[in-house]
Structure 1
Amino acid sequence: MLKMYQANLENKSLILEGKTPNAFPEEFINIHTAKLTDPSDRNASFKVFSEMYLNTFQQDFKTEKDSLKAKHNNTIYTCIACHKTTCIGPIPKIKKLLIQ
């Protein structure tokens, strides 16, 4: 999850500079097998939100510059929604990834 945070932080910086994010990190496809702080969090909600995250995050690399901010924020809102169901601790840190 820390790698995902870092990737989204880098994307935020690039977008704020008017640049398009680099290539999608293929290792994120394995989100379904990510090591979780609490293994019991790997439930039906996790599966749904992890798929949603992958779909929205991949859009950050396939969109026009004028919609990058919205696409990036959609990705971050997906993270926040997932963390509201379990593991709420990182939400304040995740919110800092939003582009105002």
Structure 2
Amino acid sequence: MYKQSEMAALMLKMYAVNLENKALILEGKVPNSIPEEFVNIHTAKLTDPSDRNAAFKGFSDFYLKTYEQVTTTNKDSLSVKHNNTINSCIACHKTTCIGPIPKIKKLLIH
């Protein structure tokens, strides 16, 4: 029986929140602050612990930074800031776990 890792569960939550953010932005609204649990990206158990390396840390830090910019920006640049956040996810997944990339791309605002 498959047991989901802490990181997989966290990333599913991140996906759901970013999907909500996309809807808010398309309505012209600014998303709320970053959920506190997102900082767990630094500590959540991975399916393969060896994936937590310097690159992963860098991508994680960058994701949190770009996400924070979405919640503190003016409405004019919301789509760009949101897409920067989503592209940070895609960039990380290109290095380790490529499977979710098509799903993640659906979060981009075109």
TM-score over 0.5 for the alignment? yes
Mark the runs of 5 or more structure 2 residues left unpaired by the alignment: 1-10
Asked whether 1:44 is paired with 2:92, we answer no
- Which of 32, 36, 40 is the aligned partner of 1:30? 40
Mark the runs of 5 or more structure 1 residues left unpaired by the alignment: none
TM superposition outliers: structure 1 runs of 4+ over 4 Å: none
Task: Compute the TM-score of the two structures, normalised by the length of structure 1.
Answer: 0.95
Q: Which has the larger radius of gyration?
A: 2
Residues in 2 aligned to 1:14 and 1:36: alpha-carbon distance in whole angstroms: 30
Partner SS state of residue 60, structure 1: helix
- Which of 15, 30, 39 is the aligned partner of 2:25? 15
How much is the aligned-residue C-alpha RMSD, in angstroms?
0.9
How many residue pairs get aligned? The number is 100
Residues in 1 aligned to 2:102 and 2:49: alpha-carbon distance in whole angstroms: 22
Partner SS state of residue 36, structure 1: coil
Partner SS state of residue 71, structure 2: coil
Q: Which residue of 1 aligns with 2:85?
A: 75
Task: Compute the TM-score of the two structures, normalised by the length of structure 2.
Answer: 0.87
